[in-house]
Chain A
Amino acid sequence: MVAMAVVVAAACGGGGTTSGSGSSVTFAAPVSQTGAFGQAEGLYTLQGYKFCVQTLNSKGGISFGGQSHKVNLVTEDDQSVAATSAQIVDQFNDQGDKLILSPYGSAGTTAVAPVVERNGQVMVDSNGADTAIFTHGYKSTFAVLSPSSSYVTSIIDALAGLSPAPKTVAIIAASDGFSQHAAEQGVAEAKAKGISVVPSATAYTSSTKVTANATDVSSALIAIKGTNPDVIIISAHLNEAVAAVKQASELGVKPKDGFAATVAPPTPAFISALGKSSEGVFGSTQWVPEISASDTVFGSAHEFLTNFTNTYGWSAQQYPYQAADAAAGCEALALAIEKAGSADPAAVRTALAGLKADTFYGHIEFDSTGMNTVKPMYVIQIQKSAFVTIYPSSLATKQAIWPAVS
C-alpha cells in the first residue's frame, strides 16, 4: 500500500511550475519519444517546441502585464499512444499547466482535444490535421497547420500543372481518419482536374486501403498493378509510404511518371530509409523555406531553416517540416498570450480565436472551428537527396524532374 503510494507519487512527480506564477509561463506538451513516431515525426515535433521556447527565451520571453516572462517547456513521452497523450494532459492540468501544445499526429490530438475542453485548458494543435478533430464544436483547440483536406489536393494541383499532365493516378490510403479524409478530397480534386483515379474512385476505401502504420502494403500494390497509373499517390504516414515505394519495385509495379506521398517525403527519415529510391518522389508539405514570410521571433522563413537545422544538426536540404509546424504552434500560443495580456487560459483562448498573425510559417488565423484554412500547402520533390520546392510555381527554385522515373 505504502509502496504503491510512493510509486504513484513518484510517477506523477517531476512537477512543473504553475503557469503564470512568478515570472515564467509553462507550455506543456505530450510528445512521442518512443513508439511508432518516436524516431522521426515525434522527434521533429519535440525539436520544434524546444527550438521555439529556446528562441523565445533568448529574446527575453513573452512580454505582458508590463513584464517579460520566460517560457518553461514541460514535456512527457506518450509512447505514440493516443490514450497516454490524453492521460498526460490530465496530469498537466493537476500541475496547473493549462497551456497545451499538441502531441504529434491526428490520433493523439483527437484524444487530447476533449480532455482540454473539459479541463478548461487551451491547446494549439501543431501536427494533427484531421478535419474530424474540428467537427465536434470544441472551443479550445486551434490548429496552425492546414487541414487534412489539403494534403492530397495540393499534390493533384501540382501534378496537373506539369507537362505532360498525368491522365491517371492511383491512390493508396492508410486506414486512419487523417489519411482517409485526405484521400477523399484528393479524389474529388482529381475529378475536377480531369485526372481519372484507378482502379476506381472509391478504391482508397477498399482495395487500395492499407492498415495504418503497416509495413506491408503489397495487397494495395497488387490491386493497382494491372491498371498502369501515371502516378501512384500514397496518402499515409512514414511507414506506409516507405513500404509502398520499396515494395512497388519488388512487385514490378511501376507508375509511368512517378510517386507522390503525403507527410513522408519531406522528412529526413524518408530519404534515409529509401536511399536512391526516394529520388523524384513528390510530397506535400505544410511549410517550405521559400515563402516570403517573417516575424520578430524567428526572422524570415529562411532564417528559421538555417537556425533550426544548425541547432539540431539537420542538413538544410533535408529539413523536417513538422518542426516548423511545432515551432509555429508554440509561437501562436506565445502571440496569443501577448495579445491577451495574460496567461489565463480563458483569455488566451479568446485571443487565439481572434488571432491574425503573419509569421515565418505564413499567415495564422483560425476559422470558427479552430482550423487555419488561410495557409496553403506546398509540394516538394526529392532531387539529389534534397527537398526542392516545385509548387506553387511562384516559389519553385528548380524545375520538377518529370517524368520522375525513367
Chain B
Amino acid sequence: MTQKPSAGPVAEVLQGRSRSTQAMFGDWIRSRTPANSWPVVAGFAVFAAMLGLQQLIVPGTQRLLTSVFLFVALAQAWNIIGGYTGYASFGQVAFFGLGAYTVAVLMNNYHVSFWVALPVAVVVGVLFAVVIGVPLLRLRGHYFAIATLGAAEGAREVINNMTSVTGGGGGITIPTFGSEAPTPYFGKPGFYLAFLVLAAVSVAVAALIARSRFGYAMVAVHEDEDAAGAVGINTTVVKVIAFAVSAAIVACAGAFYAFQQIEFYPTDVFDASFTVLMVIMVVIGGSGSVVGPLAGAVGLELLSQFLRVNLGSFNQLIFGAIIVLVVVFFPQGVVIYLRDAWRTRQFSILDNVRRYRL
C-alpha cells in the first residue's frame, strides 16, 4: 500500500501500470487460438440461439424465460463479489430494490423516459455500494454477511417510509398506458430481448473481469487478503470496485424488472429471497467461475418453474430437498465437479464428497 500511485489507485487496480486498455485488447486479439476461443464462440452461439428460440415460443413462455435471464444476470453479479472476491454479500437485493424504485419514482413522479431513468438507477446502485461498501467491506466472513443483510433491510424500510416520494407500503405504479406512459411498454417480446441482453452483458462482464489483472486481484483477495495486500494489491479498492460492479448489474436488473412489473411494493423488490436465490445458484453451479453461475441460474430457475407448475403444494419442499442433495454431493458446484471430473477422468461422486468433505 506504500507504492507511488501513477494514475490513482483505482486506475492502477483496473488497468495495471504499464498497459493501456487498447494494448490489452490488442494482446487479447493476438492471443486468440481455436483452443481458447471456444467460450466466446459458444457465448455468441447461445445468444443467437436464444434470439432464434424467441421466434418459436409463445409470449407467456418468453416471460418465463425472462426470469431465467434475470437470474443469470443476478447470479453473475453475486459471483463477482461473493465468488471471486470471497465476500458473501446477503444484501444484493438492496441494489435490486433501489434500481427498481429509482426507475419507478423517476417515471411515475417526474415523467422521465425509461432510458434516462435506467442509467440513473445504475448510478444510484453504484453510489450506495460505495457508501456502504467502504465501511462494511472491512468486515469479514459472517460479520460482512450479516451487515449487508442489515443494509438491505434498512434500505427497504427507508423506501417504505418515504411515503411522499415512493408511495411507501402502498406500492408504486409505472404509467404504461396511453399518453401517460413516458416510454412505451416493451411487451413480452421486448422484455425478452432486454433481459437477454442484460444476461449476455453480465456474462461478458464477468468473463472479462475474470481474465483481467483486476480479476486476479479479486481472487488474490479471496485466497488470502493479507498476502494480497503484502504483494501490493490495494485490497480496499479491489473489494469496493467488485462490490460496485456487482451492484451496477443488480441495479440494472432491478430497473428492467420494475418496468416489466409495472406495479410493485417494497416487499416485492426488496424480497430477501432474491439474494438467497443468487447465492444458491452460484454455489450450486460453482462459484468463482463464469459458467457455474450461468448453469446454476438456468438450471435452478427452470427446475423451480417446472416443479411449481407440476407439483402443486409440495413444489417448494422438493425444490429445497434437491438443493440440499446437490450441495451435499457437489459441494464445489456442479460445473466445477464436471470440469475436474473430465480432466482427471474420475467421475465417482462418492470420491468427490470425500475429497471436499473430509
Interface residues in A62-96 (C-beta closer than 8 Å to B) = 76-77, 79, 81-84, 86-87, 90-95
Q: Which residues of A contact B305 (CB under 8 A)?
A: 11
Total residues of chain B contacting the partner, CB 8 A: 49
Majority SS of interface residues in chain A? Answer: helix
Interface residue? B216 (CB, 8 A):
no
Q: Is A233 an interface residue (CB 8 A)?
A: no
Expressed in whole angstroms, the minimum distance between the Cβ of B123 and any Cβ of chain A is 25
> Which of A105-113, A332-340, A380-388 is the contact stretch?
A105-113
Known: A83-B261, A91-B64. A8 touches B302 (CB 8 A): yes
B15 within 8 A of A: no
Q: Spot the interface stretch: B22-30, B112-120, B166-174, B335-343.
A: B166-174
Taking CB atoms and an 8 Å cut-off, the chain A residues in 85-133 that contact chain B are 86-87, 90-95, 107, 110-111, 113-114, 117-118, 130, 132
Q: Does A278 contact B (CB under 8 A)?
A: no
Secondary structure dominating the interface of B: helix
Chain A residue numbers with a CB within 8 Å of B57 are 8
Inter-chain contacts of B346 with A (CB < 8 A): none
A7 near B308: Cβ-Cβ < 8 Å: no
Q: Decide if A5 touches B312 in the complex (CB within 8 Å).
A: no
Flag if A86 contacts B261 (CB, 8 Å): yes
A residues in contact with B173, CB < 8 Å: 136
Query: Does A164 lie at the interface of the complex (its beta carbon under 8 Å from any beta carbon of B)?
Result: no
User: Which A-chain residue is minimally distant from B63 (CB atoms)?
Assistant: A90
| B64, A12: Cβ atoms closer than 8 Å | yes
CA distance in complex: A94, B58 (Å): 6
Asked if B306 contacts A92 (CB within 8 A), the reply is: no
**B352 within 8 A of partner (CB):** no
Central interface residue in A4, A35, A76, A132, by most chain B CB within 10 Å: A4
Are A87 and B188 CB-contacts (below 8 A) given A11-B309, A12-B309, A79-B316?
Answer: no
The smallest beta-carbon distance between A33 and chain B, in angstroms, is 4
- Cβ contacts under 8 Å, A132 to chain B: 170-171
CB within 8 Å of B: which residues of A?
1, 4-5, 7-8, 10-14, 33-35, 38, 76-77, 79, 81-84, 86-87, 90-95, 107, 110-111, 113-114, 117-118, 130, 132, 136-137, 174-177, 179-181, 205-206, 209, 211-213
Known: A79-B316, A86-B261. 8 other contacts (CB 8 A): A34-B313, A34-B315, A83-B67, A110-B263, A113-B263, A117-B177, A132-B170, A211-B267
